[in-house]
Structure 1
Amino acid sequence: MGDLLSTIGTPLYYAISAIWLAWHRLFALLPISSGWAWTLAIIGLTVTIRALLIPLFVKQIKSSRNMQLIQPKVKELQKKYGHDRERLAQETMKLYKETGTNPFASCLPLILQMPIFLSLFHLLRNAANGEAKGFLTTADAKEIQNGEIFGAKISESLTNHTTTNVVVLAIILVIAMTATTFTTQRQLMSKNMPTDAMSGPYAQQQKLLLYVLPIVFAVGGIAFPIGLMLYWTTSNIWTMGQQFYVIRNNPAPGTPAAKAKEERDRAKAARHGVVAVDGPPATDVPEADRRPAQRQQPKRQSREQRKSSRPNQPKKDDNP
C-alpha cells in the first residue's frame, strides 16, 4: 500500500513543488522576508491550480444546472416507479444520459483538488522537519521550516506549534476556511436552485454538503499547517468569485438569480430607451433620454421617373 501511494504521490510532489518554486523565485525578487515569499508562492500555486481547473468548473456548473432542471422529471419517475427500485434506477440513468447530465460532475473539482491538497500537506510537513521532496532542496526546506508571517511559522499547526502567534493565526484561518466553504455552498443553493429542485434528492445532497464540508474542514484544520490552510482559503475565495460571476451572468432558469438578471436587463434597457421583448414599453424613460425615430430617406429616382411623377401643369399664357 505504501509503495502504491508513493508511486502515485511522487509525480505530484514534483509537479506541485515545480509550480511552487517558480512562484517563489518570482516573489523572492521583492523586498520581503523569506516567509512571505513562500506564503505568496502558495497563493500563486492556488491561482495556477484553479486556473487549470476552469474547464472542469464549467462542466460542473452545466451538470449542476441540468440536475436542477430535470428534478421535476425525476419526481415523476419516482411516483411512477417508486415501487420498483431497479426500474427507477434504470429510468433515472436513462434520463441522465438523454439530458447529458453527470450526477458526479459537481464533485470533480473537489476530487481532483484533494491529491494536490495532500501533496502540499506532505511537502509542508516534511519541510517542517527539514526534509525536502520533489524539486525542493534541503536549503528550500530549511527556509520553509523557518519561514514566518505575522510571527507564525507557515509549517506549523495547532497540534504542532511553538508560539502563541501560531495558535491565533491558525484559529483565524480555520474560521476563514470554514466560513468560505459554507458561504460558497450557500450561495449556490439560495440563488441558483429553482423552487422545484429544493425538495428533491439533489437538494438533500446539497444540504448535506452545506453542513458537512465546513465541519470536516473545521475539524481537519486543527492538524493542517498554516500554509495549507492559506491554500484552501484562497481556493475557496476563488470559487466564491468564479461562482458569483457565473450565477450573475448565466443563471439557471427559474431561479432567484435568473429573476434578478431579468430585472437588471430591463433596467438597462430602460436606461437606453429600448423596449424589452418580454416586458412593457419603457414609458417611464425621460423625454431627453429617448432616441428620436429615424427619418426614412426617400428612394433615389432617375430623371425620367421624376418627370413622369410630376403632375401635369397648365401651360403659361403668352398674352399678358
Structure 2
Amino acid sequence: MNPTWLDFLAIPLGRLLKLIYDFLYGLHIPGSYGIAIILLTLIVRGLLLPLYIKQIQSTSKMAEVAPRIQEIQQKYKNDQKKMQEEMLKLYQETGYNPAGGCWPLLVQIPILFALYYVFQNPLVYVLGKSHQYVKDLVQGKAGYAITQTIINEAQKLGLDMHFFGINLAQKELIVLPILSAATMFLSVFYSTNSQKRFNPQYAQSQSNAMAEGINRTMMIFSPLMSYFIALQVPSGLVVYWTVVNLFTILQQFIANEVVYKKLKHKKEEEERRKQLEKAKDNQKKDELESKEENQEERSVEATGKEDENEEEKMRKKELERLKQQMTRSQSSSKKKKR
C-alpha cells in the first residue's frame, strides 16, 4: 500500500478519529468506532460552517443580480467584450463573486476522498502503522482479500470497528445505502423548498421549466447516486455521508431561521427605506409645486392690482381732462356774454 497525495488530510483525520475512539472506548461505550465517526463528521462540518454561510450569502446575492445579468447578456449578446466589461462592473458594484458558492463543495471533495482512505486502511491512518507495514502484510493478496486482511489486523491490534452489528471497515449492502439515499433525498428536497420559501428572488429566477426540471432531476439522481456509491465503499464512509446529509438539513434549518430571515428582514428594511425616501421626494415635490402655484397666484394678484392701478390712473386722467374741458367751456361762455 503506497502513500497517497491526500495523506496530508487523511493522516490528521485518522488520528483525530483514533483520539475520539480511545476516549469513548475508555468509557466502555458500545459502538465507539461508529460514534467516533459521527463526532468526527460533526467536527469537520462545524469547521466548514463559515464556508457554508458564505455559500448561502453568495446564493442570495446571485438571486439579486440575476435579472441584471440577464439584462446585460441580452443587451450585449453580439458584443462579448462589452458584455464581459459590464459584467465585471456589476460584480464590482454589487460585491458578487460567481465562484463564491463553489468553495464548500471544492473543500468537501478532498475531505471525502481522504476519509475513504481512512476507513479503507485504518492500520495506517487510525493506528499509525507505516505504508510499508501494510504492504508487507498484504503481500501476495489481491482484491477484497487485501481489505479483509487489513481489517483483521486492525481488530487484532484492538480497534473494534463494529457499530450495531455492522463492521464499518467492510461494505454493507442494505441498511446504510438505503439510509444514505433517503437522507440525501430529504436534504435536496428541504434545501430546494427552503430556497423557494425564504428567497423569492431566487425562486423567480428558477421559475422557468428548465430549472424546475433540473431540480426534479436532482431529487431523483442524487439519492440514486448516493445509494450506488454506498454499495461500493466501506460502511464507515457511508455513515459519514449519512451524517453529512443530516447535518446539511440542520444547516439549512439554521440558514432559514438565521441567515435567510435576516436577509429577508434586511430587504424589507431596504424596501421601507426606499418607500420613505420616495414619500419624502413626493412630499418635497408637492411642496415645491404648491410654492410655485402660490407664487403664480401672488404674481397674478400683483398683476391684477397693477392693472387696477393703471385703470384708476386712466380714470383720474380722464376726469381731470373733462374738468379742464368744462373749465375752458365755462370760461369761453363768460367771454361771449360780455
TM-score class, shorter? 0.5 to 0.7
Cα separation, partners in 2 of 1:66 and 1:211, compared to 1, 3 Å:
farther
Look up the match of 1:220: 229
Pick aligned residue for 1:141 from 136, 151, 154 = 154
Q: CA deviation at 1:243?
A: 1.8
2 CA distance for matches of 1:177 and 1:40? 18
Look up the match of 1:25: 22
Matches within 5 A, 1:40-189: 40-127=35-122, 131-133=123-125, 136-137=128-129, 141-142=154-155, 147-157=161-171, 166-189=172-195
TM-score normalized by the length of structure 2: 0.61
Q: CA deviation at 1:252?
A: 6.7
Q: CA deviation at 1:176?
A: 2.9
Look up the match of 2:205: 197
Task: Give, as a single letter, the amino acid of the residue that structure 1 aligns with 2:228.
Answer: V
Q: Which runs of 5+ in 2 are unaligned?
A: 130-149, 269-275, 277-338
1:260-290 deviations in Å (ceiling 9; x for gaps): x99xxxxxxxxxxxxxxx9xxxxxxxxxxxx
1 CA distance for matches of 2:102 and 2:218? 10
CA contact (8 A) 2:180 2:241 kept: no
Which gives a bigger RCO, structure 1 or 2 (Cα 8 Å, sep 6+)?
2
2 CA distance for matches of 1:114 and 1:220? 14
Look up the match of 2:313: none
CA contact (8 A) 1:184 1:239 kept: no
Cα separation, partners in 2 of 1:196 and 1:78, compared to 1, 3 Å:
farther
1 CA distance for matches of 2:37 and 2:162? 13
2 CA distance for matches of 1:26 and 1:206? 45
Cα separation, partners in 2 of 1:118 and 1:15, compared to 1, 3 Å:
same
2 CA distance for matches of 1:230 and 1:27? 17
Cα separation, partners in 2 of 1:196 and 1:25, compared to 1, 3 Å:
same
Q: CA deviation at 1:253?
A: 8.8
Cα separation, partners in 2 of 1:145 and 1:135, compared to 1, 3 Å:
closer
Cα separation, partners in 2 of 1:253 and 1:72, compared to 1, 3 Å:
farther
For residue 82 of structure 1, give the secondary structure of its aligned residue in structure 2.
coil
1:17-64 deviations in Å (ceiling 9; x for gaps): 12211211221133333xx11111111111111111122112111111
Matches within 5 A, 1:302-317: none
For residue 60 of structure 1, give the secondary structure of its aligned residue in structure 2.
helix
Q: Which runs of 5+ in 1 are unaligned?
A: 158-165, 263-277, 279-320
1 CA distance for matches of 2:255 and 2:153? 39
Q: CA deviation at 1:184?
A: 4.4
Query: Does 2:6 align with 1:9?
Result: yes
Task: Give, as a single letter, the amino acid of the residue that structure 2 aligns with 1:152.
Answer: I
Cα separation, partners in 2 of 1:172 and 1:74, compared to 1, 3 Å:
same
CA contact (8 A) 2:38 2:240 kept: yes
Task: Give, as a single letter, the amino acid of the residue that structure 2 aligns with 1:241.
Answer: L
1:204-239 deviations in Å (ceiling 9; x for gaps): 797375555444323322212221111111112112
What's the Cα RMSD here? 3.5
CA contact (8 A) 2:198 2:261 kept: yes
For residue 260 of structure 2, give the secondary structure of its aligned residue in structure 1.
coil
CA contact (8 A) 2:180 2:230 kept: yes
Normalized per residue, the structure richer in helix is 2
Look up the match of 1:293: none
Look up the match of 1:247: 256
For residue 217 of structure 1, give the secondary structure of its aligned residue in structure 2.
helix
For residue 70 of structure 1, give the secondary structure of its aligned residue in structure 2.
helix
Give % identity: 26
Cα separation, partners in 2 of 1:199 and 1:170, compared to 1, 3 Å:
same
